[in-house]
Amino acid sequence: MKAGPSLSDPLAKIWQPILQSAGEAGVKVSAVRYEGAGKWMLRIEAKNMTNSRRNLADFFIRLGHTLNGPVPSDLIESLQ
């Protein structure tokens, strides 16, 4: 990953487990940057999969559940 979450990022605790699990969804998150004022920049790449649309969908669904809850059980320990 080129850039990590900033210390001022209000979601800093959530990014690391999301980045670690991105590979399970078949994507690579190569950068996450909090730009302030409620704006983030994510660089997400679909790996060489035949169905990149599905891989991206799986990643964004997991991201949404993590951000909005409930947090997937495999991520709970990482957030504490």
How do the pLDDT tens digits run along the chain, 80 residues long? 455 554 588 888 888 888 887 888 888 888 889 998 889 999 998 876 678 888 888 888 888 877 777 655 655 554 45
* Long-range Cβ contact pairs of 4-12 (< 8 A, separation 24 or more): 4/32, 5/32, 5/33, 5/34, 6/33, 6/34, 8/34, 8/36, 9/34, 9/40, 10/34, 11/40, 11/67
| Stated pTM of the model | 0.66
Q: Please give the helix or strand (H or E) that residue 12 lies within, else none.
A: helix 12-22
